[in-house]
Structure 1
Amino acid sequence: MRRIALATAEHVRAAGLDDDLAPAVAALDARGADVAVEVWDDASVQWGAFDLVVVRSTWDYLDRRADWLDWASRVPRLLNPPEVLRWSTDKRYLDDLARRGVPVVPTAWDPATVDDLPVSPAGQWVVKPSVSAGSRDTGRWSDPAEALRHARALTDGGRTAMVQPYVASVDEAGETALLHFAGAFSHAVRKAALLRPDEGTDVERFSREDLRGATAGEAELDLARRALAAAGEALEGADLLYARVDVVQADGGPLLLELELAEPSLFLPHGEGAADRFADAVLAAVG
Protein backbone atom coordinates (compact mmCIF):
# COMPACT_ATOMS: atom_id res chain seq x y z
CA MET A 1 0.00 0.00 0.00
CA ARG A 2 1.37 3.39 -1.04
CA ARG A 3 1.51 6.08 1.66
CA ILE A 4 0.69 9.53 0.34
CA ALA A 5 0.76 12.84 2.23
CA LEU A 6 -1.12 15.89 1.00
CA ALA A 7 0.53 18.95 2.57
CA THR A 8 -1.68 21.81 3.67
CA ALA A 9 -1.76 24.64 6.24
CA GLU A 10 -3.28 24.41 9.70
CA HIS A 11 -5.94 27.07 9.16
CA VAL A 12 -6.89 25.55 5.81
CA ARG A 13 -7.38 22.10 7.28
CA ALA A 14 -9.22 23.38 10.35
CA ALA A 15 -11.66 25.51 8.37
CA GLY A 16 -12.07 23.16 5.41
CA LEU A 17 -10.96 25.85 2.98
CA ASP A 18 -9.48 23.55 0.33
CA ASP A 19 -12.28 22.10 -1.80
CA ASP A 20 -9.79 19.80 -3.54
CA LEU A 21 -8.74 17.79 -0.50
CA ALA A 22 -11.88 15.69 0.00
CA PRO A 23 -12.21 14.51 -3.64
CA ALA A 24 -8.46 13.91 -3.86
CA VAL A 25 -8.44 11.79 -0.70
CA ALA A 26 -11.51 9.87 -1.84
CA ALA A 27 -10.00 9.10 -5.24
CA LEU A 28 -6.71 7.97 -3.74
CA ASP A 29 -8.51 5.89 -1.11
CA ALA A 30 -10.48 4.18 -3.88
CA ARG A 31 -7.19 3.16 -5.46
CA GLY A 32 -5.93 1.57 -2.26
CA ALA A 33 -3.58 4.33 -1.15
CA ASP A 34 -3.04 5.23 2.50
CA VAL A 35 -3.61 9.00 2.47
CA ALA A 36 -2.89 11.56 5.17
CA VAL A 37 -3.58 15.29 5.10
CA GLU A 38 -0.68 16.85 7.00
CA VAL A 39 0.28 20.41 7.99
CA TRP A 40 3.54 21.40 6.36
CA ASP A 41 5.08 23.09 9.43
CA ASP A 42 4.03 20.44 11.95
CA ALA A 43 7.36 19.31 13.39
CA SER A 44 5.90 15.99 14.52
CA VAL A 45 5.22 14.75 10.97
CA GLN A 46 7.66 12.14 9.72
CA TRP A 47 7.76 13.11 6.06
CA GLY A 48 10.25 10.42 5.20
CA ALA A 49 7.69 7.75 6.08
CA PHE A 50 5.63 8.60 2.99
CA ASP A 51 6.16 7.26 -0.50
CA LEU A 52 5.22 10.68 -1.87
CA VAL A 53 4.45 14.10 -0.40
CA VAL A 54 2.25 16.33 -2.55
CA VAL A 55 2.29 20.07 -1.92
CA ARG A 56 -1.30 21.18 -1.89
CA SER A 57 -2.87 24.05 0.06
CA THR A 58 0.13 25.40 2.00
CA TRP A 59 -1.45 28.84 1.66
CA ASP A 60 0.20 30.47 4.67
CA TYR A 61 3.67 30.39 3.13
CA LEU A 62 3.59 33.97 1.82
CA ASP A 63 4.85 35.50 5.05
CA ARG A 64 7.32 32.67 5.62
CA ARG A 65 8.45 31.78 2.13
CA ALA A 66 12.07 31.17 3.19
CA ASP A 67 10.96 28.75 5.93
CA TRP A 68 8.58 27.03 3.53
CA LEU A 69 11.25 26.58 0.89
CA ASP A 70 13.65 25.28 3.53
CA TRP A 71 11.01 22.74 4.60
CA ALA A 72 10.51 21.71 0.97
CA SER A 73 14.24 21.19 0.50
CA ARG A 74 14.26 18.71 3.39
CA VAL A 75 11.25 16.62 2.38
CA PRO A 76 12.12 13.51 0.38
CA ARG A 77 9.97 12.56 -2.60
CA LEU A 78 8.19 15.93 -2.82
CA LEU A 79 6.06 17.07 -5.75
CA ASN A 80 6.12 19.54 -7.15
CA PRO A 81 9.84 19.56 -6.29
CA PRO A 82 11.61 22.33 -4.36
CA GLU A 83 13.25 23.97 -7.37
CA VAL A 84 9.84 24.30 -9.00
CA LEU A 85 8.34 25.82 -5.86
CA ARG A 86 11.14 28.38 -5.63
CA TRP A 87 10.90 29.40 -9.30
CA SER A 88 7.13 29.52 -9.58
CA THR A 89 6.35 31.44 -6.38
CA ASP A 90 8.08 34.55 -7.66
CA LYS A 91 6.25 35.85 -10.71
CA ARG A 92 9.46 37.11 -12.23
CA TYR A 93 9.36 33.70 -13.92
CA LEU A 94 7.14 35.47 -16.49
CA ASP A 95 10.30 37.01 -17.94
CA ASP A 96 11.80 33.52 -18.31
CA LEU A 97 8.75 32.39 -20.25
CA ALA A 98 8.57 35.53 -22.38
CA ARG A 99 12.23 35.09 -23.39
CA ARG A 100 11.29 31.61 -24.55
CA GLY A 101 8.57 32.94 -26.81
CA VAL A 102 5.49 32.52 -24.61
CA PRO A 103 2.97 35.37 -25.08
CA VAL A 104 2.49 36.77 -21.59
CA VAL A 105 0.62 39.77 -20.24
CA PRO A 106 3.14 42.66 -20.44
CA THR A 107 4.73 43.32 -17.06
CA ALA A 108 6.78 46.18 -15.63
CA TRP A 109 8.88 45.55 -12.54
CA ASP A 110 9.36 48.25 -9.91
CA PRO A 111 8.22 51.13 -12.15
CA ALA A 112 9.27 54.58 -10.95
CA THR A 113 7.60 56.89 -13.48
CA VAL A 114 4.54 56.90 -15.70
CA ASP A 115 6.82 56.18 -18.65
CA ASP A 116 7.77 52.88 -16.98
CA LEU A 117 4.17 51.61 -16.98
CA PRO A 118 3.14 49.14 -19.68
CA VAL A 119 0.71 50.39 -22.31
CA SER A 120 -2.86 49.68 -21.22
CA PRO A 121 -5.57 49.78 -23.93
CA ALA A 122 -8.20 49.68 -21.16
CA GLY A 123 -6.58 52.57 -19.31
CA GLN A 124 -6.21 50.54 -16.12
CA TRP A 125 -3.36 48.73 -14.40
CA VAL A 126 -3.06 45.85 -11.95
CA VAL A 127 -0.37 46.19 -9.28
CA LYS A 128 0.78 43.42 -6.98
CA PRO A 129 3.93 42.02 -5.38
CA SER A 130 5.85 39.44 -7.38
CA VAL A 131 5.38 36.98 -4.51
CA SER A 132 1.64 36.93 -3.97
CA ALA A 133 -1.46 34.74 -4.04
CA GLY A 134 -5.20 35.08 -3.75
CA SER A 135 -5.21 38.76 -4.87
CA ARG A 136 -3.47 39.71 -1.62
CA ASP A 137 -1.97 43.22 -1.73
CA THR A 138 -3.32 43.54 -5.27
CA GLY A 139 -5.09 46.58 -6.72
CA ARG A 140 -6.67 47.64 -10.01
CA TRP A 141 -6.14 51.32 -10.76
CA SER A 142 -7.46 53.72 -13.40
CA ASP A 143 -5.11 56.52 -12.31
CA PRO A 144 -1.47 55.88 -13.25
CA ALA A 145 -0.39 57.95 -10.26
CA GLU A 146 -2.24 55.54 -7.96
CA ALA A 147 -0.65 52.58 -9.71
CA LEU A 148 2.77 54.09 -9.12
CA ARG A 149 1.92 54.92 -5.51
CA HIS A 150 0.95 51.29 -4.90
CA ALA A 151 4.10 50.02 -6.62
CA ARG A 152 6.25 52.38 -4.57
CA ALA A 153 4.65 51.18 -1.33
CA LEU A 154 5.60 47.62 -2.24
CA THR A 155 9.17 48.46 -3.14
CA ASP A 156 9.56 50.63 -0.04
CA GLY A 157 8.58 47.52 1.92
CA GLY A 158 11.39 45.53 0.32
CA ARG A 159 9.20 43.70 -2.19
CA THR A 160 9.27 43.54 -5.95
CA ALA A 161 6.30 45.33 -7.52
CA MET A 162 4.78 44.13 -10.77
CA VAL A 163 2.43 46.22 -12.90
CA GLN A 164 0.36 44.82 -15.75
CA PRO A 165 -2.28 46.36 -18.00
CA TYR A 166 -5.77 45.26 -17.00
CA VAL A 167 -7.17 43.07 -19.75
CA ALA A 168 -10.70 44.35 -20.36
CA SER A 169 -12.09 41.01 -21.56
CA VAL A 170 -11.78 39.67 -18.01
CA ASP A 171 -14.79 41.73 -16.91
CA GLU A 172 -17.08 39.76 -19.24
CA ALA A 173 -15.26 36.54 -20.08
CA GLY A 174 -13.17 36.06 -16.95
CA GLU A 175 -9.95 34.06 -16.90
CA THR A 176 -9.55 30.47 -18.06
CA ALA A 177 -7.62 28.07 -15.86
CA LEU A 178 -6.30 25.01 -17.68
CA LEU A 179 -5.38 22.18 -15.32
CA HIS A 180 -2.73 19.62 -16.23
CA PHE A 181 -1.69 16.48 -14.36
CA ALA A 182 1.63 14.84 -15.23
CA GLY A 183 1.79 17.02 -18.32
CA ALA A 184 -1.61 16.00 -19.70
CA PHE A 185 -4.56 18.37 -19.95
CA SER A 186 -7.31 17.46 -17.48
CA HIS A 187 -10.00 20.15 -17.41
CA ALA A 188 -10.70 23.86 -17.72
CA VAL A 189 -12.45 26.29 -15.40
CA ARG A 190 -13.70 29.80 -16.01
CA LYS A 191 -12.92 32.25 -13.20
CA ALA A 192 -14.99 35.44 -13.04
CA ALA A 193 -13.31 38.80 -12.45
CA LEU A 194 -12.36 39.53 -8.84
CA LEU A 195 -10.80 42.98 -9.08
CA ARG A 196 -12.83 46.17 -9.25
CA PRO A 197 -11.30 49.47 -10.27
CA ASP A 198 -9.93 51.80 -7.61
CA GLU A 199 -11.25 49.87 -4.60
CA GLY A 200 -7.82 49.56 -3.02
CA THR A 201 -6.08 46.46 -1.71
CA ASP A 202 -7.62 45.86 1.72
CA VAL A 203 -10.66 44.05 0.33
CA GLU A 204 -12.18 40.61 1.02
CA ARG A 205 -12.69 39.16 -2.46
CA PHE A 206 -13.26 35.47 -1.80
CA SER A 207 -17.01 35.97 -1.60
CA ARG A 208 -16.92 37.10 -5.23
CA GLU A 209 -15.35 33.89 -6.47
CA ASP A 210 -17.40 32.45 -9.31
CA LEU A 211 -16.04 29.24 -10.81
CA ARG A 212 -17.57 27.25 -13.65
CA GLY A 213 -16.44 24.34 -15.74
CA ALA A 214 -15.38 25.47 -19.21
CA THR A 215 -14.36 24.13 -22.58
CA ALA A 216 -10.85 25.17 -23.49
CA GLY A 217 -10.32 26.51 -26.99
CA GLU A 218 -7.53 25.20 -29.20
CA ALA A 219 -5.64 28.50 -28.97
CA GLU A 220 -5.76 28.33 -25.18
CA LEU A 221 -4.59 24.72 -25.17
CA ASP A 222 -1.75 25.60 -27.53
CA LEU A 223 -0.66 28.44 -25.26
CA ALA A 224 -0.72 26.08 -22.28
CA ARG A 225 1.47 23.59 -24.14
CA ARG A 226 3.94 26.32 -25.03
CA ALA A 227 4.05 27.62 -21.48
CA LEU A 228 4.65 24.18 -20.01
CA ALA A 229 7.34 23.41 -22.58
CA ALA A 230 9.09 26.70 -21.80
CA ALA A 231 8.84 26.03 -18.07
CA GLY A 232 10.38 22.62 -18.66
CA GLU A 233 13.34 24.31 -20.35
CA ALA A 234 13.71 26.88 -17.57
CA LEU A 235 13.52 24.16 -14.91
CA GLU A 236 15.76 21.72 -16.78
CA GLY A 237 13.08 19.07 -17.05
CA ALA A 238 11.93 19.02 -13.42
CA ASP A 239 8.96 16.73 -12.81
CA LEU A 240 5.59 18.47 -12.68
CA LEU A 241 2.82 16.51 -11.01
CA TYR A 242 0.37 19.34 -11.57
CA ALA A 243 0.21 22.69 -13.33
CA ARG A 244 -2.44 25.37 -13.67
CA VAL A 245 -2.16 27.65 -16.66
CA ASP A 246 -4.16 30.86 -16.23
CA VAL A 247 -5.04 32.53 -19.52
CA VAL A 248 -6.81 35.75 -20.54
CA GLN A 249 -8.10 36.83 -23.94
CA ALA A 250 -6.56 39.85 -25.66
CA ASP A 251 -7.20 41.27 -29.13
CA GLY A 252 -4.31 39.30 -30.59
CA GLY A 253 -5.25 36.01 -28.93
CA PRO A 254 -4.77 34.41 -25.52
CA LEU A 255 -2.06 35.62 -23.15
CA LEU A 256 -0.52 33.85 -20.19
CA LEU A 257 -1.45 35.55 -16.93
CA GLU A 258 0.16 33.08 -14.51
CA LEU A 259 1.65 29.60 -14.47
CA GLU A 260 0.77 28.08 -11.10
CA LEU A 261 3.13 25.24 -10.15
CA ALA A 262 3.37 25.51 -6.37
CA GLU A 263 0.08 25.25 -4.47
CA PRO A 264 -2.78 26.21 -6.78
CA SER A 265 -6.40 25.30 -6.36
CA LEU A 266 -6.96 22.49 -8.84
CA PHE A 267 -10.74 22.94 -9.03
CA LEU A 268 -11.28 19.17 -8.88
CA PRO A 269 -15.03 19.47 -8.16
CA HIS A 270 -15.47 21.46 -11.39
CA GLY A 271 -14.09 18.88 -13.82
CA GLU A 272 -15.79 15.55 -14.41
CA GLY A 273 -13.31 12.81 -13.58
CA ALA A 274 -10.68 15.35 -12.51
CA ALA A 275 -10.10 13.82 -9.08
CA ASP A 276 -9.58 10.41 -10.67
CA ARG A 277 -7.07 11.81 -13.14
CA PHE A 278 -5.24 13.56 -10.31
CA ALA A 279 -5.11 10.37 -8.23
CA ASP A 280 -3.84 8.37 -11.21
CA ALA A 281 -1.07 10.94 -11.75
CA VAL A 282 -0.10 10.82 -8.07
CA LEU A 283 0.17 7.04 -8.02
CA ALA A 284 2.04 6.98 -11.31
CA ALA A 285 4.57 9.38 -9.78
CA VAL A 286 5.11 6.95 -6.91
CA GLY A 287 5.92 4.21 -9.41
Structure 2
Amino acid sequence: MKVAYVTWDGPDDEREPVLAAWLGADIEGAPVRWDDPAADWSSFDAAVVRSTWDYTHRRDEFTAWARRAGAATRLLNPATVLTWNTDKTYLRDLGVPIVPTHWTAVDIPVWDEYVVKPAISAGARDTIRTRDRQQAEAFAVELESQGRTIMVQPYLPTVEHEGELSLLYFNGQFSHAVRRNPMLPPQGVSASATELTRYSLRDPDDDQFELAEQVLGQVAEELLYARVDLVRMPDGEPVLIELELTEPYLYLEAELDAPDMFAKALADMLATG
Protein backbone atom coordinates (compact mmCIF):
# COMPACT_ATOMS: atom_id res chain seq x y z
CA MET A 1 0.00 0.00 0.00
CA LYS A 2 1.20 3.49 -0.84
CA VAL A 3 -0.04 6.23 1.50
CA ALA A 4 0.56 9.97 1.52
CA TYR A 5 1.55 11.50 4.85
CA VAL A 6 -0.07 14.90 4.39
CA THR A 7 2.10 17.59 5.88
CA TRP A 8 3.33 21.17 5.52
CA ASP A 9 6.58 22.94 4.72
CA GLY A 10 7.70 23.07 8.34
CA PRO A 11 8.96 20.98 11.26
CA ASP A 12 7.18 17.81 12.36
CA ASP A 13 8.97 15.55 14.83
CA GLU A 14 6.34 12.80 14.47
CA ARG A 15 6.81 12.36 10.72
CA GLU A 16 9.78 9.99 10.75
CA PRO A 17 8.54 7.73 13.60
CA VAL A 18 5.17 7.39 11.84
CA LEU A 19 6.69 6.61 8.45
CA ALA A 20 8.98 4.01 10.05
CA ALA A 21 6.04 2.36 11.83
CA TRP A 22 4.02 2.37 8.61
CA LEU A 23 6.88 0.66 6.80
CA GLY A 24 6.87 -2.03 9.50
CA ALA A 25 3.19 -2.59 8.67
CA ASP A 26 3.95 -2.91 4.92
CA ILE A 27 2.71 0.58 4.19
CA GLU A 28 4.91 2.75 1.99
CA GLY A 29 4.49 6.27 3.28
CA ALA A 30 5.53 9.43 1.48
CA PRO A 31 5.39 12.96 2.93
CA VAL A 32 3.43 15.30 0.65
CA ARG A 33 2.57 18.93 1.29
CA TRP A 34 -1.19 19.44 1.30
CA ASP A 35 -0.88 22.52 -0.91
CA ASP A 36 1.65 21.08 -3.35
CA PRO A 37 0.13 21.86 -6.77
CA ALA A 38 2.10 19.01 -8.35
CA ALA A 39 0.78 16.33 -5.97
CA ASP A 40 -1.12 13.50 -7.65
CA TRP A 41 -3.40 12.26 -4.90
CA SER A 42 -4.86 9.57 -7.14
CA SER A 43 -1.47 7.84 -7.16
CA PHE A 44 -1.93 6.94 -3.48
CA ASP A 45 -4.11 4.25 -1.95
CA ALA A 46 -4.90 6.72 0.83
CA ALA A 47 -3.84 10.09 2.20
CA VAL A 48 -3.52 10.61 5.95
CA VAL A 49 -3.79 14.20 7.13
CA ARG A 50 -1.14 14.92 9.73
CA SER A 51 0.87 18.12 10.13
CA THR A 52 -1.11 20.59 8.01
CA TRP A 53 -0.39 23.25 10.61
CA ASP A 54 -0.50 26.26 8.30
CA TYR A 55 -4.15 25.91 7.29
CA THR A 56 -5.82 28.18 9.87
CA HIS A 57 -5.54 31.40 7.84
CA ARG A 58 -6.33 29.48 4.65
CA ARG A 59 -9.20 27.34 5.83
CA ASP A 60 -11.33 27.71 2.70
CA GLU A 61 -8.36 26.67 0.58
CA PHE A 62 -7.69 23.75 2.93
CA THR A 63 -11.25 22.42 2.94
CA ALA A 64 -11.45 22.78 -0.86
CA TRP A 65 -8.23 20.77 -1.10
CA ALA A 66 -9.70 18.11 1.23
CA ARG A 67 -12.72 17.71 -1.03
CA ARG A 68 -10.50 17.34 -4.10
CA ALA A 69 -8.12 14.92 -2.42
CA GLY A 70 -11.02 12.93 -1.01
CA ALA A 71 -12.45 12.56 -4.51
CA ALA A 72 -9.10 11.26 -5.79
CA THR A 73 -8.18 8.86 -2.98
CA ARG A 74 -9.27 7.73 0.47
CA LEU A 75 -8.71 10.70 2.77
CA LEU A 76 -8.25 10.06 6.47
CA ASN A 77 -9.84 11.67 8.26
CA PRO A 78 -12.58 12.33 5.65
CA ALA A 79 -13.12 15.75 4.09
CA THR A 80 -16.55 16.07 5.73
CA VAL A 81 -14.93 15.62 9.15
CA LEU A 82 -12.16 18.11 8.39
CA THR A 83 -14.63 20.76 7.22
CA TRP A 84 -16.77 20.32 10.33
CA ASN A 85 -13.87 20.08 12.79
CA THR A 86 -11.85 23.09 11.60
CA ASP A 87 -14.51 25.47 12.90
CA LYS A 88 -14.92 25.18 16.67
CA THR A 89 -18.60 26.04 16.46
CA TYR A 90 -18.93 22.24 16.23
CA LEU A 91 -18.75 22.35 20.03
CA ARG A 92 -22.29 23.75 20.07
CA ASP A 93 -23.62 20.68 18.28
CA LEU A 94 -22.06 17.81 20.22
CA GLY A 95 -24.52 17.70 23.11
CA VAL A 96 -21.78 16.98 25.67
CA PRO A 97 -20.44 19.07 28.58
CA ILE A 98 -18.00 21.69 27.26
CA VAL A 99 -16.11 24.61 28.80
CA PRO A 100 -18.66 27.42 29.24
CA THR A 101 -18.49 29.45 26.03
CA HIS A 102 -19.94 32.83 25.03
CA TRP A 103 -20.09 33.20 21.23
CA THR A 104 -20.36 36.96 20.79
CA ALA A 105 -18.60 40.14 21.94
CA VAL A 106 -21.91 41.41 23.35
CA ASP A 107 -22.81 40.94 27.04
CA ILE A 108 -19.71 38.96 27.97
CA PRO A 109 -20.30 37.21 31.33
CA VAL A 110 -18.44 38.33 34.43
CA TRP A 111 -15.67 35.82 35.14
CA ASP A 112 -12.46 36.07 37.14
CA GLU A 113 -10.32 35.50 34.07
CA TYR A 114 -11.01 35.23 30.35
CA VAL A 115 -9.77 33.37 27.31
CA VAL A 116 -10.77 34.94 23.99
CA LYS A 117 -10.07 33.30 20.64
CA PRO A 118 -11.52 32.87 17.15
CA ALA A 119 -13.49 29.73 16.32
CA ILE A 120 -11.05 28.95 13.52
CA SER A 121 -7.60 28.76 15.07
CA ALA A 122 -5.00 26.32 16.32
CA GLY A 123 -2.14 26.25 18.79
CA ALA A 124 -3.36 29.28 20.78
CA ARG A 125 -2.96 31.57 17.75
CA ASP A 126 -4.84 34.89 17.99
CA THR A 127 -5.76 33.98 21.57
CA ILE A 128 -5.47 36.01 24.75
CA ARG A 129 -5.80 35.24 28.45
CA THR A 130 -6.68 38.22 30.62
CA ARG A 131 -8.32 39.25 33.91
CA ASP A 132 -9.37 42.55 32.36
CA ARG A 133 -12.98 42.29 31.15
CA GLN A 134 -12.63 45.43 29.03
CA GLN A 135 -9.58 43.98 27.31
CA ALA A 136 -11.45 40.74 26.69
CA GLU A 137 -14.36 42.68 25.17
CA ALA A 138 -12.08 44.83 23.02
CA PHE A 139 -10.24 41.81 21.64
CA ALA A 140 -13.53 40.02 20.95
CA VAL A 141 -14.83 43.11 19.10
CA GLU A 142 -11.60 43.28 17.09
CA LEU A 143 -11.91 39.63 16.03
CA GLU A 144 -15.57 40.10 15.10
CA SER A 145 -14.69 43.18 13.04
CA GLN A 146 -12.50 40.87 10.96
CA GLY A 147 -15.55 38.71 10.23
CA ARG A 148 -14.47 35.95 12.62
CA THR A 149 -16.69 33.99 15.00
CA ILE A 150 -15.34 34.43 18.51
CA MET A 151 -15.27 32.31 21.64
CA VAL A 152 -15.08 33.81 25.12
CA GLN A 153 -14.46 31.33 27.92
CA PRO A 154 -13.53 31.47 31.58
CA TYR A 155 -9.96 30.49 32.33
CA LEU A 156 -10.31 27.48 34.60
CA PRO A 157 -7.94 27.47 37.60
CA THR A 158 -8.02 23.67 37.68
CA VAL A 159 -5.79 23.76 34.58
CA GLU A 160 -2.94 25.09 36.71
CA HIS A 161 -2.72 22.09 39.05
CA GLU A 162 -4.39 19.33 37.03
CA GLY A 163 -3.49 20.38 33.51
CA GLU A 164 -5.37 19.43 30.36
CA LEU A 165 -5.87 15.76 29.54
CA SER A 166 -5.58 14.55 25.95
CA LEU A 167 -6.90 11.06 25.15
CA LEU A 168 -5.64 9.57 21.88
CA TYR A 169 -7.68 7.07 19.83
CA PHE A 170 -6.70 5.19 16.68
CA ASN A 171 -9.51 3.62 14.63
CA GLY A 172 -11.80 3.94 17.63
CA GLN A 173 -9.42 2.21 20.05
CA PHE A 174 -7.86 4.03 22.99
CA SER A 175 -4.08 4.28 22.67
CA HIS A 176 -2.74 6.55 25.42
CA ALA A 177 -3.35 9.79 27.26
CA VAL A 178 -1.14 12.67 28.30
CA ARG A 179 -1.40 15.48 30.80
CA ARG A 180 -0.44 18.74 29.09
CA ASN A 181 0.79 21.95 30.65
CA PRO A 182 -1.44 25.00 30.13
CA MET A 183 -0.67 26.65 26.77
CA LEU A 184 -1.55 30.16 27.94
CA PRO A 185 0.71 31.68 30.62
CA PRO A 186 -0.76 34.42 32.82
CA GLN A 187 -0.82 37.89 31.29
CA GLY A 188 2.55 39.54 31.65
CA VAL A 189 4.36 36.26 32.32
CA SER A 190 6.65 34.81 29.69
CA ALA A 191 7.09 31.06 29.35
CA SER A 192 9.47 29.09 27.21
CA ALA A 193 8.22 26.88 24.41
CA THR A 194 9.50 23.92 26.41
CA GLU A 195 7.38 24.83 29.42
CA LEU A 196 4.28 25.31 27.30
CA THR A 197 4.63 21.99 25.49
CA ARG A 198 5.66 19.83 28.43
CA TYR A 199 3.54 16.73 28.93
CA SER A 200 3.51 13.40 30.77
CA LEU A 201 1.80 10.06 30.29
CA ARG A 202 -1.35 9.78 32.39
CA ASP A 203 -4.05 7.17 33.06
CA PRO A 204 -7.48 8.79 32.63
CA ASP A 205 -10.08 8.47 35.37
CA ASP A 206 -13.30 6.57 34.69
CA ASP A 207 -15.36 9.75 34.25
CA GLN A 208 -12.83 11.09 31.74
CA PHE A 209 -13.00 7.86 29.74
CA GLU A 210 -16.79 8.02 29.82
CA LEU A 211 -16.88 11.58 28.50
CA ALA A 212 -14.33 10.83 25.76
CA GLU A 213 -16.38 7.85 24.59
CA GLN A 214 -19.54 9.97 24.67
CA VAL A 215 -17.84 12.65 22.55
CA LEU A 216 -16.58 10.17 19.96
CA GLY A 217 -20.00 8.57 19.84
CA GLN A 218 -21.35 11.80 18.35
CA VAL A 219 -19.25 11.40 15.19
CA ALA A 220 -20.79 9.07 12.62
CA GLU A 221 -17.81 8.91 10.25
CA GLU A 222 -14.98 6.42 10.60
CA LEU A 223 -11.95 8.08 12.21
CA LEU A 224 -8.36 6.95 11.84
CA TYR A 225 -7.26 9.25 14.66
CA ALA A 226 -8.90 11.40 17.29
CA ARG A 227 -7.66 13.43 20.22
CA VAL A 228 -10.14 14.32 22.94
CA ASP A 229 -8.95 17.24 25.09
CA LEU A 230 -10.57 17.51 28.52
CA VAL A 231 -10.29 19.66 31.62
CA ARG A 232 -12.09 19.64 34.95
CA MET A 233 -14.43 22.36 36.12
CA PRO A 234 -13.93 23.74 39.65
CA ASP A 235 -16.57 21.28 40.92
CA GLY A 236 -14.60 18.36 39.43
CA GLU A 237 -16.81 17.69 36.41
CA PRO A 238 -14.81 16.79 33.28
CA VAL A 239 -15.68 18.90 30.24
CA LEU A 240 -14.54 18.98 26.64
CA ILE A 241 -12.11 21.65 25.51
CA GLU A 242 -11.69 20.43 21.95
CA LEU A 243 -12.19 17.36 19.80
CA GLU A 244 -9.13 17.28 17.54
CA LEU A 245 -9.88 15.38 14.32
CA THR A 246 -7.92 17.39 11.76
CA GLU A 247 -4.20 17.65 12.49
CA PRO A 248 -3.65 16.87 16.18
CA TYR A 249 -0.21 16.29 17.61
CA LEU A 250 -0.40 12.67 18.75
CA TYR A 251 2.24 12.60 21.53
CA LEU A 252 3.61 9.38 20.09
CA GLU A 253 6.83 9.76 22.04
CA ALA A 254 4.91 9.39 25.30
CA GLU A 255 3.86 5.78 24.65
CA LEU A 256 6.38 3.29 23.27
CA ASP A 257 3.77 1.25 21.38
CA ALA A 258 1.81 4.22 20.01
CA PRO A 259 3.50 4.50 16.57
CA ASP A 260 2.91 0.78 15.92
CA MET A 261 -0.69 1.06 17.16
CA PHE A 262 -1.24 3.95 14.77
CA ALA A 263 0.26 1.93 11.90
CA LYS A 264 -1.88 -1.10 12.73
CA ALA A 265 -5.01 1.05 12.87
CA LEU A 266 -4.23 2.38 9.40
CA ALA A 267 -3.46 -1.09 8.03
CA ASP A 268 -6.72 -2.45 9.44
CA MET A 269 -8.73 0.38 7.88
CA LEU A 270 -7.07 -0.08 4.51
CA ALA A 271 -7.63 -3.83 4.63
CA THR A 272 -11.35 -3.41 5.23
CA GLY A 273 -11.73 -0.88 2.43
TM-score by length of 2: 0.93
1:229 and 2:217 aligned: yes
Moved more, 48-57 or 245-254: 245-254
| Map of 1:104 onto structure 2 | 98
| Map of 1:173 onto structure 2 | 162
| Map of 1:263 onto structure 2 | 247
Distance 2:262 2:150 in 1: 34
Root-mean-square deviation (CA), in Å? 1.5
Deviation at 1:240, TM superposition (A): 0.9
| Map of 1:9 onto structure 2 | 8
Q: Deviations over 1:240-273 (max 9, x none)?
A: 1110000001114111000000011011111121
Counterpart contact for 2:115–2:136, Cα < 8 Å: yes
Deviation at 1:205, TM superposition (A): 6.2
Q: Secondary structure at the match of 1:7?
A: strand
| Map of 1:143 onto structure 2 | 132
Relative distance call for 1:57 and 1:205 in structure 2 (3 A) is farther
Output the amino acid matched with 2:207: A
| Map of 2:149 onto structure 1 | 160
| Map of 1:46 onto structure 2 | 40
Q: Could you list the runs of 4 or more consecutive aligned residues of structure 1 that deviate by over 2 angstroms after TM superposition?
A: 196-200, 203-208
Deviation at 1:189, TM superposition (A): 0.7
Q: Secondary structure at the match of 1:41?
A: coil
Distance 1:94 1:198 in 2: 26
Q: Percent same amino acid at aligned positions?
A: 43
Matches within 5 A, 1:162-201: 162-199=151-188
Distance 1:278 1:112 in 2: 44
1:249 and 2:232 aligned: yes
Relative distance call for 1:205 and 1:87 in structure 2 (3 A) is farther
1:59 and 2:53 aligned: yes
Q: Secondary structure at the match of 2:216?
A: helix
| Map of 1:83 onto structure 2 | 80
Unaligned runs of 5+ in 2: none
Q: Deviations over 1:213-246 (max 9, x none)?
A: 111111111110011112x2xxxx2111110000
Deviation at 1:20, TM superposition (A): 1.8
Output the amino acid matched with 2:258: A
Unaligned runs of 5+ in 1: none
TM-score by length of 1: 0.89
Distance 1:126 1:154 in 2: 13
Distance 2:171 2:146 in 1: 38
Deviation at 1:204, TM superposition (A): 8.1
